[in-house]
Each structure stands twice: as structure tokens, then as C-alpha cells.
Amino acid sequence: MRHTITLTVTRARLLLAAVVVSVLVAGCGGASAFGGQPDWFTEQEKTSDKIAEASAAAVPYPLAAVEAGGFLELKNLAERLTRFSKQSKVGYLYLVSFGKFVGYYAVRGKISSVNSQMTNSNQTWSCGHECETVVDSIGDDGSFGPNEGGDRGVFFFTSNGTMVETTLDWVYSDQPLSIDVPNLLK
């Protein structure tokens, strides 16, 4: 019974998503709201849709098992967020270079991506004919383009207030690990 309900919900979500896309595309010169696929759909996109529908039918979402487990992923996310929300929290960031641990920092607070920003990273521009497009916004520093460190860059503040930015691989722990490497602040 639960599998039938799950499949019905999945199909309803797919249908709703298709209607929303169709309505949006109709406003931008595509197919009508219920007149089939928009003209910009490619064969690969149609094939991907068929695969998604077939996989959802063949392996339904295991809602009962997730409920029985108490939504552990959400609990883990909540615990991580709670721990990182304490500015006084001290953790340990171990730097890794070419597969070898090279040293560690005692970190205050959390590690942050250099691509995080306090303002909206996208904005919507009108492209005419009741159509809109999303473009990158200007960054917090007033410039466009990638930040120092690109996609891999992170920064953090050490226990003595020093800001460090790196693109090296790293391991974080909220307790010291038994790894024999130097403290990089000494």
C-alpha cells in the first residue's frame, strides 16, 4: 500500500513540475501550457525524463524506512548546524598536501567557503516578452568573477584570531585527532 501511495505522490510531483515548466516556457515563447513538450527540449532531456520516471517506479522512495530511522540525515544536519553556530567553538583543521598531513590549526567557529557571500549571488533580469533570466550578481567586494581560491578556497579564523585562507585539502574535527603534525601557529 505504501509503495502505491509513494508512486502516486512521485508521479503527481513530476506532473506538477512538468506543468510549471510548461507554463513558464509558454511565457517565454515555448509550447503552450498543456500542448506537449516545449520546443527547446532536446532528445537527451526527454530520455532523462523517461529514465527518472522509470527509476522512481522501479525503486520507490523508502519513506517508511526513513521515518523508522528518525530522519537521521536531518538530525545530523541539525547537530552540525548547532555545533557550528557557536562562535566560541574550537575545532581542528588538518591540512593535507599531496595525500600527506602537513600541520594543523586550532580553529575558532567554522570553516567558510570563499564563495560564500552576505548578499544575493543571483539576480533576475527581464529578457522581454514576459521572460526573465537569472544572472550572477556583483560580489560582496564589488567585483564580478570568482574569488581567490576558486571553488576550492576556504577561510577560517584560528583560536588566536588569525584569518587563514587555503585551497589545500583538509580534514576538520571538533576534537584533536591522533595525527603527529605540527601546530602551524607555533
pLDDT bucket at 39, cuts 50 / 70 / 90: low
pLDDT digits (tens, 9 = 90+) for 74-125: 999 999 999 988 888 999 999 999 999 999 999 999 999 988 888 888 888 8
CA 124, CA 18: separation in Å to the nearest integer?
22
| Residue spans per domain, the chain | 2-70, 89-173
- pLDDT above 90 covers a percentage of the chain that reads 44
- Long-range CB contacts for residues 176-180, cutoff 8 Å, separation at least 24: 176/92, 177/92, 177/94, 179/94, 179/101, 179/104
Cβ-contact 76, 69 below 8 angstroms:
no
CA 131, CA 114: separation in Å to the nearest integer?
32
Q: For the whole prediction, is pTM greater than 0.75? A: no
pLDDT digits (tens, 9 = 90+) for 139-157: 777 777 777 888 899 999 9
Q: Is the pLDDT of residue 23 over 50?
A: no
More confident residue, 121 or 13: 121
